[in-house]
Amino acid sequence: MNSSKQTASTSFKAPDSSSLQLNDQGRLRHFLTTENLSKDILTEIMDVAESFSSVADQAVKKVPVLRGKTIVNLFFEDSTRTRTTFELAAKRLSADVINLNIATSATSKGESILDTIRNLEAMHADMFVVRHGDSGAAHFIARHVAPHVSVINAGDGRHAHPTQAMLDMFSIRREKKEFKGLKVAIIGDILHSRVARSQIHALNTLGVQEVRVIAPSTLLPSDTKSLGVQVHGDLRSGLDGVDVIIMLRLQRERMGGALLPSEHEYFECFGLTAEKLAYAKPDVTVMHPGPINRGVEMDADVADGKHSIILQQVTNGIAIRMAVMTLALGANRASDSS
């Protein structure tokens, strides 16, 4: 790859390894994907998040863990919710935060991503939180940053969204206490969903009994079964006896061609209603990464009902992102001192 000509619009090769994520001591240096990370690492992230979960209840919602550190939100793709939760997480850790507006930054004027990174490193940045429309962008940046800098993937193309997956795992653990024996159904646009891929890897690593995906065939990738899931084409069989339902947002901005006849027909077949919810276990937990398309993915009664923990997921996302930032920057400090 000719890095001197690398720009924000260039496609990146999708990464084939997660070994880049760990330092020499096996600690989390970058957080780029849940794939191939150990159960111990994923559990540690959730344990640290648990320790931060009470910070929001304090009169002063801050801890001095990352005081003096500078974290840059480098978003090449819009996402108000994800950027805001990363910003809140960093500020609650007492870090300094820079939100880089890519639309008006040098990269929009032709500067390469690596030139942008080098300039930010010269300003003593310690972490980049990267969101990009191309798969592999965060990995590319992680391969080229200075040794003291950590990179967090906030979503890249169709590849991965690891912090969203981990806040979902944390939410499940808080509701169900353990993963062993759980049956989890993921419903919706699996084909375009980086969230679903990260969820599937994490769920299998954490030892759930079954991961099911439920979607029309046009919204399933060709390698779905190789991901270690059971595939269902209808809600009745797919939801039978499940403990957790994770709904996915229809990725309108990523869908090309006639993959769906209509949103109305999608809702009739795959939208979650109170009636369809009865196929699952009586104490089923309903989740959604947001934002919700009400009347398309689920109706309001389910989104706001007693089984839904959607708002709790948002709250849990701050604690998880605090945990990931703390662990990654802690690993870099350990590497520097060794």
> Would the pLDDT of 77 be above 90?
no
Average pLDDT, the chain: 89
The residue with greater pLDDT, 56 or 139, is 139
Q: Classify domain 3-160+315-333 at the CATH superfamily level.
A: Aspartate/ornithine carbamoyltransferase (3.40.50.1370)
> Would the pLDDT of 6 be above 50?
no
Give the number of C-alpha atoms closer than 13 A to the C-alpha of residue 195, restricted to the C-beta side. Answer: 20
Largest CA distance in the chain: 59
Give the pLDDT band (50/70/90) at residue 100: confident
In the chain, where are the structural domains located?
3-160+315-333, 162-312
Q: Could you report the per-residue pLDDT of 103-149, keeping only the tens digit for each? A: 556 555 556 888 989 999 999 999 999 999 999 999 999 999 999 99
> Would the pLDDT of 18 be above 60?
no
pLDDT of residue 285: 98
> Would the pLDDT of 225 be above 70?
yes
- Partners of 184 in beta bridges: 211, 244
The residue with greater pLDDT, 211 or 116, is 211
Q: Which CATH number fits domain 162-312: 3.30.365.10, 3.40.50.720, 1.10.8.640, 3.40.50.1370?
A: 3.40.50.1370
- Residue 54 exposed, middle or buried by CB count within 10 Å (0-12, 13-18, 19+): exposed
Q: Is the pTM of this model over 0.85?
A: yes
